[in-house]
Amino acid sequence: MTFIASPKRYHEIPYNRCGNSGIKLPAISFGLWNNFGGEDTLENQRRMLMKAFDLGITHFDLANNYGPPPGAAEKNFGRILKEDFSSYRDEMIISTKAGFRMWDGPYGDWGSRKYLISSLDQSLQRMNLDYVDIFYHHRPDPETPLEETMAALDQTVRQGKALYVGISNYNAEQTKQAIDILKAQGTPFIIHQAAYSMLDRTIENGLTDVLDEHGIGCIAYVPLAQGLLTDKYLSGIPKDSRAAKEFIPFLNERDVSSDKLQKIKALNTIARDRGQTLAQMALVWVLQEKSVVSALIGASRVSQIEENIKALNNTTFTQEELDAINEILN
Protein backbone atom coordinates (compact mmCIF):
# COMPACT_ATOMS: atom_id res chain seq x y z
CA MET A 1 0.00 0.00 0.00
CA THR A 2 1.45 3.38 -1.02
CA PHE A 3 2.11 5.78 1.83
CA ILE A 4 0.26 9.07 1.52
CA ALA A 5 1.55 11.69 3.94
CA SER A 6 -0.77 13.83 6.02
CA PRO A 7 -1.71 17.09 4.26
CA LYS A 8 -1.39 18.81 7.66
CA ARG A 9 2.22 17.74 8.25
CA TYR A 10 3.62 21.26 7.88
CA HIS A 11 1.17 22.70 10.39
CA GLU A 12 2.49 20.65 13.32
CA ILE A 13 6.02 21.86 13.97
CA PRO A 14 8.19 25.00 13.68
CA TYR A 15 11.20 25.08 11.35
CA ASN A 16 14.34 26.98 12.30
CA ARG A 17 16.97 28.38 9.96
CA CYS A 18 20.25 26.49 10.24
CA GLY A 19 22.85 29.18 10.85
CA ASN A 20 23.27 31.50 7.88
CA SER A 21 22.28 28.83 5.35
CA GLY A 22 19.14 28.57 3.27
CA ILE A 23 18.12 25.38 5.06
CA LYS A 24 15.49 25.19 7.78
CA LEU A 25 15.36 22.19 10.11
CA PRO A 26 12.38 21.00 12.14
CA ALA A 27 12.66 21.91 15.80
CA ILE A 28 12.72 18.16 16.47
CA SER A 29 14.64 15.81 14.19
CA PHE A 30 14.60 12.02 14.17
CA GLY A 31 17.81 10.05 14.71
CA LEU A 32 18.16 6.41 13.68
CA TRP A 33 20.99 5.61 16.10
CA ASN A 34 19.11 2.93 18.02
CA ASN A 35 16.15 0.72 17.08
CA PHE A 36 16.89 0.64 13.35
CA GLY A 37 19.32 -2.27 13.35
CA GLY A 38 19.07 -5.81 12.09
CA GLU A 39 17.41 -7.04 15.28
CA ASP A 40 14.55 -4.51 15.11
CA THR A 41 11.41 -5.19 13.10
CA LEU A 42 11.14 -3.38 9.79
CA GLU A 43 7.43 -2.78 10.31
CA ASN A 44 8.00 -0.88 13.54
CA GLN A 45 10.71 1.17 11.84
CA ARG A 46 8.32 1.92 8.98
CA ARG A 47 5.56 3.00 11.38
CA MET A 48 7.90 5.33 13.25
CA LEU A 49 9.20 6.97 10.09
CA MET A 50 5.69 7.47 8.73
CA LYS A 51 4.45 8.97 11.99
CA ALA A 52 7.47 11.25 12.26
CA PHE A 53 6.94 12.54 8.72
CA ASP A 54 3.21 13.00 9.27
CA LEU A 55 4.03 15.13 12.32
CA GLY A 56 6.31 17.40 10.30
CA ILE A 57 9.70 15.86 11.05
CA THR A 58 11.57 16.23 7.77
CA HIS A 59 15.12 15.61 8.99
CA PHE A 60 16.33 12.02 9.39
CA ASP A 61 19.81 11.54 10.82
CA LEU A 62 21.99 8.46 10.29
CA ALA A 63 25.64 7.37 10.33
CA ASN A 64 27.60 4.65 8.61
CA ASN A 65 28.03 2.65 11.82
CA TYR A 66 24.44 2.81 13.10
CA GLY A 67 22.89 -0.59 13.65
CA PRO A 68 23.81 -3.07 14.88
CA PRO A 69 25.45 -4.38 12.82
CA PRO A 70 27.13 -1.29 11.34
CA GLY A 71 25.33 -0.21 8.19
CA ALA A 72 22.02 -1.83 9.14
CA ALA A 73 20.23 1.44 9.91
CA GLU A 74 21.14 2.92 6.53
CA LYS A 75 20.14 -0.28 4.75
CA ASN A 76 16.77 -0.47 6.51
CA PHE A 77 16.13 3.23 6.01
CA GLY A 78 17.00 2.91 2.32
CA ARG A 79 14.54 0.07 1.87
CA ILE A 80 11.71 1.96 3.57
CA LEU A 81 12.59 5.11 1.65
CA LYS A 82 12.38 3.26 -1.65
CA GLU A 83 9.17 1.39 -0.82
CA ASP A 84 7.22 4.14 0.95
CA PHE A 85 8.82 7.58 0.62
CA SER A 86 10.23 7.76 -2.90
CA SER A 87 7.83 10.53 -3.92
CA TYR A 88 8.76 12.58 -0.82
CA ARG A 89 12.57 12.61 -1.16
CA ASP A 90 12.67 16.31 -2.02
CA GLU A 91 10.79 17.11 1.18
CA MET A 92 13.42 15.44 3.34
CA ILE A 93 16.77 16.35 4.83
CA ILE A 94 18.76 13.12 5.07
CA SER A 95 22.12 13.18 6.83
CA THR A 96 24.80 10.61 7.47
CA LYS A 97 28.28 10.56 9.02
CA ALA A 98 31.62 8.82 8.96
CA GLY A 99 34.38 8.90 11.55
CA PHE A 100 34.08 5.83 13.73
CA ARG A 101 35.33 2.33 12.96
CA MET A 102 33.41 0.79 10.07
CA TRP A 103 35.60 -1.93 8.55
CA ASP A 104 38.87 -3.71 9.25
CA GLY A 105 42.26 -2.33 8.34
CA PRO A 106 43.80 1.15 8.39
CA TYR A 107 41.27 2.72 5.98
CA GLY A 108 38.02 2.01 7.84
CA ASP A 109 38.15 4.58 10.63
CA TRP A 110 38.87 8.21 11.59
CA GLY A 111 39.23 11.01 9.02
CA SER A 112 41.39 10.28 6.01
CA ARG A 113 40.20 11.24 2.55
CA LYS A 114 40.34 7.53 1.63
CA TYR A 115 37.97 6.56 4.46
CA LEU A 116 35.49 9.42 4.15
CA ILE A 117 34.99 9.18 0.40
CA SER A 118 34.74 5.38 0.49
CA SER A 119 32.34 5.47 3.42
CA LEU A 120 29.97 7.94 1.80
CA ASP A 121 29.93 5.85 -1.38
CA GLN A 122 28.92 2.82 0.71
CA SER A 123 26.29 4.82 2.61
CA LEU A 124 24.69 6.05 -0.60
CA GLN A 125 24.58 2.50 -1.93
CA ARG A 126 22.94 1.20 1.26
CA MET A 127 20.31 3.95 1.20
CA ASN A 128 19.70 3.79 -2.57
CA LEU A 129 20.44 7.51 -2.83
CA ASP A 130 22.32 9.67 -5.31
CA TYR A 131 23.20 12.21 -2.60
CA VAL A 132 22.66 13.08 1.05
CA ASP A 133 21.67 16.54 2.17
CA ILE A 134 24.28 16.70 4.96
CA PHE A 135 27.49 14.69 5.32
CA TYR A 136 29.29 14.95 8.66
CA HIS A 137 32.73 14.06 9.89
CA HIS A 138 31.68 12.21 13.04
CA ARG A 139 34.68 12.97 15.29
CA PRO A 140 38.05 14.73 15.04
CA ASP A 141 41.03 12.62 14.01
CA PRO A 142 44.18 13.33 16.08
CA GLU A 143 46.50 11.92 13.41
CA THR A 144 45.10 13.06 10.05
CA PRO A 145 45.73 16.72 9.15
CA LEU A 146 42.50 18.68 9.50
CA GLU A 147 43.12 20.11 6.03
CA GLU A 148 42.84 16.62 4.54
CA THR A 149 39.63 15.80 6.38
CA MET A 150 38.00 19.09 5.41
CA ALA A 151 39.17 18.69 1.81
CA ALA A 152 37.42 15.31 1.74
CA LEU A 153 34.18 16.94 2.90
CA ASP A 154 34.59 19.57 0.21
CA GLN A 155 35.14 16.85 -2.40
CA THR A 156 31.84 15.15 -1.54
CA VAL A 157 30.01 18.39 -2.30
CA ARG A 158 31.86 19.01 -5.55
CA GLN A 159 31.10 15.44 -6.64
CA GLY A 160 27.40 16.00 -5.98
CA LYS A 161 27.27 13.36 -3.25
CA ALA A 162 26.35 15.84 -0.50
CA LEU A 163 24.68 19.25 -0.57
CA TYR A 164 26.08 20.53 2.72
CA VAL A 165 28.66 19.34 5.24
CA GLY A 166 28.92 19.32 9.00
CA ILE A 167 31.09 18.13 11.86
CA SER A 168 30.30 16.41 15.13
CA ASN A 169 32.02 16.11 18.50
CA TYR A 170 34.60 18.83 17.71
CA ASN A 171 35.53 21.23 20.52
CA ALA A 172 35.50 25.01 20.13
CA GLU A 173 39.10 25.38 18.92
CA GLN A 174 38.85 22.47 16.48
CA THR A 175 35.58 23.90 15.16
CA LYS A 176 37.16 27.32 14.62
CA GLN A 177 39.99 25.73 12.63
CA ALA A 178 37.51 23.69 10.55
CA ILE A 179 35.47 26.83 9.82
CA ASP A 180 38.54 28.66 8.53
CA ILE A 181 39.55 25.80 6.23
CA LEU A 182 36.06 25.17 4.88
CA LYS A 183 35.45 28.89 4.35
CA ALA A 184 38.68 29.16 2.33
CA GLN A 185 37.55 26.21 0.22
CA GLY A 186 34.10 27.66 -0.33
CA THR A 187 32.50 24.57 1.21
CA PRO A 188 28.86 24.91 2.43
CA PHE A 189 29.53 24.13 6.11
CA ILE A 190 26.25 24.74 7.92
CA ILE A 191 25.93 22.53 11.02
CA HIS A 192 27.63 21.08 14.09
CA GLN A 193 26.10 18.07 15.84
CA ALA A 194 26.96 18.16 19.53
CA ALA A 195 25.93 16.43 22.73
CA TYR A 196 23.80 18.87 24.70
CA SER A 197 21.32 18.43 27.51
CA MET A 198 20.50 19.77 30.93
CA LEU A 199 23.01 17.28 32.32
CA ASP A 200 25.74 18.00 29.75
CA ARG A 201 26.29 21.70 29.03
CA THR A 202 29.86 21.41 27.75
CA ILE A 203 29.09 23.21 24.49
CA GLU A 204 28.29 26.38 26.45
CA ASN A 205 32.00 26.66 27.30
CA GLY A 206 33.02 28.33 24.06
CA LEU A 207 31.57 26.21 21.26
CA THR A 208 28.22 27.98 21.00
CA ASP A 209 30.04 31.33 20.87
CA VAL A 210 32.08 30.10 17.88
CA LEU A 211 28.96 28.82 16.12
CA ASP A 212 27.05 32.05 16.73
CA GLU A 213 29.93 34.19 15.51
CA HIS A 214 30.29 32.29 12.25
CA GLY A 215 26.63 31.54 11.50
CA ILE A 216 26.81 27.77 11.98
CA GLY A 217 23.73 25.96 13.30
CA CYS A 218 23.85 23.37 16.07
CA ILE A 219 21.74 20.24 16.37
CA ALA A 220 21.68 18.76 19.87
CA TYR A 221 22.00 15.00 20.20
CA VAL A 222 21.15 13.02 23.36
CA PRO A 223 19.02 15.95 24.64
CA LEU A 224 17.36 13.49 27.03
CA ALA A 225 20.74 12.29 28.35
CA GLN A 226 20.22 8.69 27.19
CA GLY A 227 16.85 8.61 28.95
CA LEU A 228 17.93 10.07 32.28
CA LEU A 229 15.79 13.14 31.61
CA THR A 230 12.58 11.12 31.43
CA ASP A 231 10.27 9.75 34.07
CA LYS A 232 11.99 6.35 33.84
CA TYR A 233 14.52 7.08 36.59
CA LEU A 234 12.43 9.19 38.97
CA SER A 235 12.12 6.28 41.39
CA GLY A 236 15.60 4.87 40.89
CA ILE A 237 17.06 2.52 38.27
CA PRO A 238 14.52 0.05 36.82
CA LYS A 239 15.87 -3.45 36.23
CA ASP A 240 14.88 -3.33 32.56
CA SER A 241 16.40 0.12 31.91
CA ARG A 242 19.42 0.95 29.78
CA ALA A 243 21.40 1.98 32.86
CA ALA A 244 20.88 -1.45 34.44
CA LYS A 245 22.50 -3.24 31.48
CA GLU A 246 26.25 -3.58 31.87
CA PHE A 247 26.85 -4.01 28.14
CA ILE A 248 25.48 -0.58 27.20
CA PRO A 249 28.57 1.66 26.93
CA PHE A 250 26.76 5.02 26.93
CA LEU A 251 24.79 4.79 30.16
CA ASN A 252 25.50 2.52 33.10
CA GLU A 253 24.44 2.29 36.71
CA ARG A 254 27.54 4.19 37.81
CA ASP A 255 26.36 7.13 35.67
CA VAL A 256 23.12 7.43 37.64
CA SER A 257 24.40 8.94 40.87
CA SER A 258 22.23 9.96 43.80
CA ASP A 259 23.10 13.58 43.01
CA LYS A 260 21.78 13.19 39.46
CA LEU A 261 18.62 11.50 40.65
CA GLN A 262 18.02 14.35 43.06
CA LYS A 263 18.41 16.87 40.22
CA ILE A 264 16.09 14.88 37.97
CA LYS A 265 13.37 14.83 40.61
CA ALA A 266 13.68 18.59 41.18
CA LEU A 267 13.55 19.25 37.42
CA ASN A 268 10.48 17.05 37.15
CA THR A 269 8.66 19.28 39.62
CA ILE A 270 9.27 22.31 37.39
CA ALA A 271 8.16 20.35 34.30
CA ARG A 272 4.96 19.25 36.03
CA ASP A 273 4.17 22.85 36.96
CA ARG A 274 4.63 23.75 33.26
CA GLY A 275 2.17 21.06 32.23
CA GLN A 276 4.91 18.95 30.64
CA THR A 277 6.71 15.71 31.23
CA LEU A 278 10.36 15.95 32.19
CA ALA A 279 11.34 14.72 28.72
CA GLN A 280 9.22 17.37 27.01
CA MET A 281 10.73 20.15 29.09
CA ALA A 282 14.25 18.83 28.50
CA LEU A 283 13.71 18.87 24.74
CA VAL A 284 12.52 22.47 24.54
CA TRP A 285 15.15 23.59 27.05
CA VAL A 286 17.99 22.82 24.61
CA LEU A 287 16.21 24.96 22.00
CA GLN A 288 16.63 27.98 24.29
CA GLU A 289 20.31 28.08 23.30
CA LYS A 290 20.58 30.56 20.42
CA SER A 291 22.67 28.39 18.09
CA VAL A 292 20.60 25.21 18.62
CA VAL A 293 18.14 24.85 15.76
CA SER A 294 16.92 21.30 16.39
CA ALA A 295 16.80 18.63 19.09
CA LEU A 296 17.62 15.14 17.84
CA ILE A 297 15.43 12.40 19.29
CA GLY A 298 15.43 8.63 19.06
CA ALA A 299 12.47 6.32 19.59
CA SER A 300 11.54 2.68 19.87
CA ARG A 301 7.81 3.15 19.27
CA VAL A 302 5.40 5.60 17.70
CA SER A 303 3.97 6.85 20.99
CA GLN A 304 7.38 8.23 22.02
CA ILE A 305 7.54 10.37 18.87
CA GLU A 306 4.03 11.67 19.51
CA GLU A 307 4.88 12.57 23.11
CA ASN A 308 8.09 14.33 22.09
CA ILE A 309 6.30 16.46 19.51
CA LYS A 310 3.86 17.62 22.19
CA ALA A 311 6.83 19.33 23.86
CA LEU A 312 6.51 22.05 21.22
CA ASN A 313 3.15 23.09 22.65
CA ASN A 314 5.07 25.01 25.32
CA THR A 315 8.50 26.25 24.23
CA THR A 316 8.80 29.42 26.30
CA PHE A 317 10.29 29.68 29.77
CA THR A 318 9.80 32.43 32.31
CA GLN A 319 12.95 33.92 33.79
CA GLU A 320 11.94 32.42 37.12
CA GLU A 321 11.81 28.95 35.56
CA LEU A 322 15.21 29.37 33.92
CA ASP A 323 16.72 30.63 37.17
CA ALA A 324 15.26 27.69 39.07
CA ILE A 325 16.57 25.20 36.49
CA ASN A 326 20.05 26.74 36.60
CA GLU A 327 20.08 26.59 40.38
CA ILE A 328 19.24 22.88 40.26
CA LEU A 329 21.83 22.13 37.61
CA ASN A 330 24.58 24.14 39.25
pLDDT in tens, 203-214: 999 999 999 999
Mean per-residue pLDDT, 63-90: 97
Measured distance CA(13)–CA(305) in Å, rounded: 13
Measured distance CA(220)–CA(29) in Å, rounded: 10
Cα dihedral value 130, 133, 139, 144, nearest 10:
60
Measured distance CA(222)–CA(26) in Å, rounded: 16
Query: Residues 209, 179: contact at Cβ < 8 Å?
Result: no
Top pLDDT among 55 and 12 is at 55
Measured distance CA(33)–CA(296) in Å, rounded: 10
Q: What is the pTM of this model?
A: 0.94
Residue 36 has pLDDT above 80, yes or no: yes
For 242-263, how does the pLDDT look when each residue is reduced to its tens digit (9 = 90+)?
Answer: 444 454 455 555 667 788 999 9
pLDDT score, position 244: 45
